[in-house]
Amino acid sequence: MNITVIGAGYVGLITASGLAETGHRVICVDDDQGKIDTLNAGGMPFYEPGLGDLVDRNRAAKRLEFISRIEDAVAQCEVIFICVGTPPLEDGEADLSSVELVARRISACARGYHLVIEKSTVPVQTGRRLQKHFSIYGDNSQSHYDVASNPEFLREGSGVEDFFHPDRIVIGVDSKKAAGLLEEVYRPVLEQSFVCPIHDSCGKRPHVPLVVTDINSAELIKHASNSFLAMKISFINMISDLCEAVGADAGKVAQAIGMDSRIGSSFLRPGIGFGGSCFPKDLQAFVRVGQSAGCDFTLLREVERINQRRVDLFVDKIKHELWVLRGKRIGVWGLAFKPRTDDVRSAPALAIIRRLLAEGAVVRAYDPQAMGKAKAQLPGVEYCADAYVVAEGADAVLALTEWEEFLSLDFEKVRTMMARPLIFDGRNMFSRIDMAEHGIEYVDVGSGAQLHNHTPTL
């Protein structure tokens, strides 16, 4: 099938190259000429494991091309995915101006039938607005449309894997034709009938469930999914505060409650909070959706509030140990909002560092992938070649992103290099016992066994 994907960000690029890999001919469009030139020159606009190879292979096979003019793509394709950004406005509502602009450009040039699929994360009833838009601005004598919703659930850092092996595919449609076309688009993924580009021996996998519903429900499924995951994280962070206060172990609590299959063990890792380009903005947008529909979304406001307080609580812990921060040398391991990505959008690490710099601390930092993007947002930090340079002469080191490589550090060496062997673990990635064996003072999130705290008797 000939498919157009508009927007070459995470969702767009992974969708475009994934669909090409499963045999479709895909034109990926982005009005950022610089990004298109980078892609056509074989470069990647961001770091995502496995994506570069996928793009190269499909471009070489002429199944994938990158252009900047929507009109040239629309003329060749019936199926159009809208994957543009929907960043938050001042008040947290989703900014849909890029979605509307794309709709305008499509309706100005489209001829014949087109299925326009919203894949960007959008508030409920956006599809309705698109339908209205096409009925007003589309030249109904020459063109007719179906609108559909097909939310994306990929995670940064494992986006390629999530495209080929999703838990489910959700489509929101208003017509059998639209449903049929989307099923055709995704057939190889639904039937897992493709040669897996990620796993050498992928083996026969069960078919992927296809959830077919109406457009409004499909749009809500995305916001509700992300808000629920964010709620799990804020829940365990709330519990971890209690564990610290009463002398219990949040890691054990999470492990045991997660064994209940109704709860599930994922997304119960306490820490410095969730960040990234999705959870914070989707939560804000969903709270506004609830509000404008006259519903009480206090629960999600609390999820936001608990998450925002993670940074304060973590900095308080550091001050509790280091007393005056002015002039203290603090090392930071990890800047990205999570491992396996160079993305620092709403990264808790950056918020923590800003607080430390504001208190006059001297900060050295290292991240395997995200230093370039962090530098743009955080001058005043010394970016280092590796984790050891960061530890050299430090009064404390903060582990803020759980990159695999930090687990295999030589902690004997780290201890001898630091002015005070003290590690604050904001992602509970290290073991308390290992740290003690290396003679390193260790403060994690959620265990009552903190260094110098007085557990109150309730």
Question: What mask, x for binding ligand UDX by CB under 6 A, covers residues 103 to 142?
Answer: ----------------------------------------
Answer for which of 92, 165, 241, 267 binds ligand UDX (CB under 6 A) is 267
Count of residues of this chain found to bind ligand UDX when the rule CB under 6 A is applied: 19
Q: Are 246 and 458 in contact (CB under 8 A)?
A: yes
Q: Which of 353, 332, 447, 324 is nearest to 397 (CA)?
A: 332
In whole angstroms, how far apart are CA 413 and each of 57, 410, 416? 42, 5, 5
Q: How far apart are CA 323 and CA 423, in angstroms?
A: 15
Answer for which of 9, 271, 290, 421 binds ligand UDX (CB under 6 A) is 271
278 catalytic, yes or no? yes
Q: How far apart are CA 256 and CA 323, in angstroms?
A: 35
In whole angstroms, how far apart are CA 18 and each of 77, 189, 228? 17, 9, 27
- For position 279 contacting ligand UDX by CB under 6 A, the verdict is yes
Q: Which of 101, 74, 83 is nearest to 19 (CA)?
A: 83
Which residues ranging from 145 to 204 are in contact with ligand UDX (CB under 6 A)?
A: 152-156
Nearer to ligand UDX, 185 or 349 (CB): 349
> First and final CA of the chain: distance in angstroms?
65
What's the burial of 67, exposed, middle or buried (CB within 10 Å: 0-12/13-18/19+)? middle
Amino acid letter, residue 9:
G
Nearer to ligand UDX, 66 or 337 (CB): 337
Answer for which of 16, 239, 248, 268 binds ligand UDX (CB under 6 A) is 268
In total, the chain counts a number of residues equal to 458
Nearer to ligand UDX, 222 or 364 (CB): 222
- For position 333 contacting ligand UDX by CB under 6 A, the verdict is no
Q: How far apart are CA 198 and CA 52, in angstroms?
A: 12
Which of 196, 278, 295, 384 is flagged as catalytic?
278
DSSP letter for 88, please: B
Sign, CA torsion 451/454/457/458? negative
Answer for which of 18, 188, 197, 275 binds ligand UDX (CB under 6 A) is 275
- For position 345 contacting ligand UDX by CB under 6 A, the verdict is no
- For position 432 contacting ligand UDX by CB under 6 A, the verdict is no
- For position 233 contacting ligand UDX by CB under 6 A, the verdict is yes
Question: What mask, x for binding ligand UDX by CB under 6 A, covers residues 389 to 408?
Answer: --------------------
Nearer to ligand UDX, 275 or 446 (CB): 275
Give the catalytic positions in this structure.
278
Q: Which residues bind ligand UDX (CB under 6 A)?
A: 152-156, 226, 229, 233, 267-269, 271, 274-276, 278-279, 337-338
